[in-house]
Every structure is written in structure tokens, then in C-alpha cells.
Structure 1
Amino acid sequence: MSSQLARSEESAVPGGSRVAAGAGLGVFAAVIGYLLTYLLISGEVRETISESVAEWKAVAWYFYNAHMVDIQSSGSFGPFGGTGTVNFITESSSSTAGVLYILPPLALLAVGAFLALRWNATDLGEAIIAGTPVTIGYGLVMGVGAIVTESSAEWSTFGIEGSSSTAPVLVPAVLLGGIIYPLVFSNAGAVIATAINGR
């Protein structure tokens, strides 16, 4: 009787509130992933990244790399210029750098599982409904972050103008990091939690 009452109370929660909660936890998952990245890699960032780049931006580049999103670097000097991509994790000498790849999935799995348990999901459909809204908040952070973490500089040497710019590649940052990652892992967490809770 008490489980039926709890189930009834959960179903009375408006859908908009569930979406807002999922989106909010998506933001939370992204922030936690970034902060853990900072704790693990900030030492290397201070040693290897140019002092002209803000440390928080450089850490964010590792965070995007952890989502399989490359960082694009472009530069020009007079008539010459070029563009390339880099993955700071694969080029890192830190023994903990590889751990960064598992941080986003773990954060998203945990958030998805929490939501499924919070809304008392009992089947696959309810699990997906619980986990999917995480994408809204996570995608927003990844999209905005790809823009605000750009680092650029301009200079002049002997009258010749030069410039450089480094930032996450925007389309993969949004599609891969902001949509596919949370869709896959938050829903996986919700499904796993629902299956375990149903036993």
C-alpha cells in the first residue's frame, strides 16, 4: 500500500518539473566533471600551457578532449597561416590523464541513475523519460563552454601582424559532447538503476 502511495505521489509531479530537474542535474554533471578534471590535471596545465592562456580555459580543453572533442588551434603571421587540432590528453605525460576519459561517463551515469530512482522508474520507457532531460543542461554547458573557452591573441613584430586562436571544435563539442554523451550515458544510468530497483 505504501509503495502504491509513493508511486502515486511521484506520478503527480508535473512533467515540466521533471524536465527542469533533469536539465539542472545535466548542468551539475558537467560542472562536477570539469571540477574533477581541474583537480587531476591543473598541475600539468600550469607546467605546459602558455602563461598567456587562462588556466581555467586550458583545463576545459582537457575536459572537451575527455569527450573525444579535439581542440582546434589556428595561427597566422603576415601572409602565412595554418590550422590544426590537438588532443591534450593523448599528448599528456601525466599518469592520471587517461582517467579523464571516464569522468564524463561516470558523472552522467550517476545522474541518470539518481533521476530514475528519484522518479521511481519501473520500466525502460520511464527510465528514458527520466534520463533524457539531462541532455538539455549538459548540452547547454558544452555549447556555451566551447565558445567562452576560446583563447586568442594578436601581436605585431617588425610591422608584421600575427594572431592565434585555440578553442574546442564547436560542432563536435555540441553534437558529441553536448548531445550524444548525455543521451547515451545518462539514459544508461537510468536504465541500469531501473533494472536493479525492479528486482
Structure 2
Amino acid sequence: MSDLPTTDETGRIGNRTRTAVLGTGALAGVLAFLVGYLVTWVTAGTRAASVTVTGPFGSGVPDWRAVLWVFFDGHFVGTRTPQVFGPDGALWGGGELVDTVSLLDVTYVYAIPPLVLAVAGAAVALHLRSETPRAGVQAGLTVGIGYLVTVVLALFVATQGGIAPSPLRALVVAGIVYPVAFGGLGGFVAVLVTTRTSGERSSPAA
């Protein structure tokens, strides 16, 4: 009898491989979001806490939630202020989007999401041993799965008293555009650098 795998066995192996790839990317995406949030807390936590004291959001907001708003705004999402209505139901004010990053003068936070996503994309590409830049991009794109899921979950806990990141912008920009762009870029660069380094090492000395 032949020891070669049957068509069904080959299909099952392929499915397991794809599942492993997607699972690796999803985990990297979740970790990228969490690391980005923690870096934001460490570098801008003190100023983020002041947004509930001197900012337009009122008091009683826990520091961890204020930091979450700032991290979302690091993706250019925008945090919506609470709406104030009069006795007749007319809108008196509020409801506009505020960029807490600019408000608190912590513009370096804009660099955090691209960096953590690029690193995550590169890590996935290297872990999967992607051999071509195209394969590196494809590996990096899988980071978006976990990142998007974490964005959705974070939106639920980021809401308080009518204050929350813009849901649509959070889902589209933070959840899709950023991980696709920077996760894929990280995977591309990682494979490109690795390929060139390997080529230089294997080239005979002049």
C-alpha cells in the first residue's frame, strides 16, 4: 500500500495548517492591542487621568477607561462627548468628537498603534517562516483578526455616561485599516530584511 496521504488526509492537514496560521495571527493581534494599551498607560497615563478633571468629560471616570480613550484616539478615532438636552428635548450641546491625544498634548501616542502592529505582523511572518515578501504580507494581515475582535470588546467597556470612542471609526479605522496596513507592512519588511540578510551571508566573499 502507498504511504502517500489521501486527498481527504491532505485536505485535513491543509485545514489544520490554515487554522494554526489564523490562530497565531489572531493571538498576535490581541497581544498587539493589549501591549499598545499598556504602553499608552505607561507613557501617557498621568495626563490621561487628568482628562476627567480638566477636560470636557466630567469626573468619576476611572483612569483605565480614560487611557483606553486616549489609545483609541491614537488611531485617529475620536472620543464623543456626552450630549446635553434641554427640557424641550432640543440639543443644547455636546456630541462632538474630541481628540484626546491632541487635547492632552501626547502626540507620541499616534506612533504606538503602528509600531505594535508592525512588530506583531513581523513576529507572525517570522514565526511562520514566510519565505517571500508576499507571504510575509499575508501572514501579517492575520493580525487583524485578533485586533478587530479586541477593538469590538474594548468598545463595550470604553463607554461611560454617553462618552465613548466613535463606534464606526473605531471599527473601520482602528479595527480594520490599521491592522491591515501596519500588520501587513510589518510582515513584508520582516521577510524582506531576513531574505537580504540570508543572501548576504550565503554570498561568497569577494
Q: Tell me the TM-score range normalised by the shorter chain.
A: 0.7 to 0.9
Aligned to 1:111: 120
- Once the two structures are TM-superposed, the CA of residue 48 in structure 1 deviates from its matched residue by 3.3
1:68 aligns with 2:76: yes
Q: Deviations over 1:92-132 (max 9, x none)?
A: 14xxx111010111101111111111111111331122111
- Once the two structures are TM-superposed, the CA of residue 141 in structure 1 deviates from its matched residue by 1.0
Counterpart residue identity of residue 76, structure 1: V
| Aligned alpha-carbon RMSD (Å) | 1.7
* 8 Å contact from structure 2 (residues 48, 104) kept in 1: no
* 8 Å contact from structure 1 (residues 124, 194) kept in 2: yes
Aligned to 1:138: 147
Give 3-state SS (helix, strand or coil) of 1:198's partner: helix
* 8 Å contact from structure 1 (residues 116, 194) kept in 2: yes
Aligned to 1:128: 137
1:55 aligns with 2:63: yes
1:173 aligns with 2:170: yes
Counterpart residue identity of residue 36, structure 1: V
Counterpart residue identity of residue 42, structure 1: G
Aligned to 2:31: 28
The unaligned stretches of length 5 or more in structure 1 are 1-10, 153-164
Q: Which has the larger radius of gyration?
A: 2
The unaligned stretches of length 5 or more in structure 2 are 1-12, 53-57, 197-206
More strand by share: 1
Counterpart residue identity of residue 169, structure 2: P
Q: Deviations over 1:21-74 (max 9, x none)?
A: 100110000000000111112211333314311211111110011001011113
**Count of aligned residue pairs for this structure pair:** 174
* 8 Å contact from structure 2 (residues 75, 174) kept in 1: yes
- Bigger mean CA deviation after superposition, 81-90 or 184-193: 81-90
CA distance in 1, matches of 2:51, 2:173: 27
Q: Any residues of structure 2 matched to 1:74-113 within 5 Å, and which?
A: 74-77=82-85, 78=87, 79-81=89-91, 82=93, 83-93=95-105, 97-113=106-122
1:183 aligns with 2:164: no
Matched-pair identity in %: 27
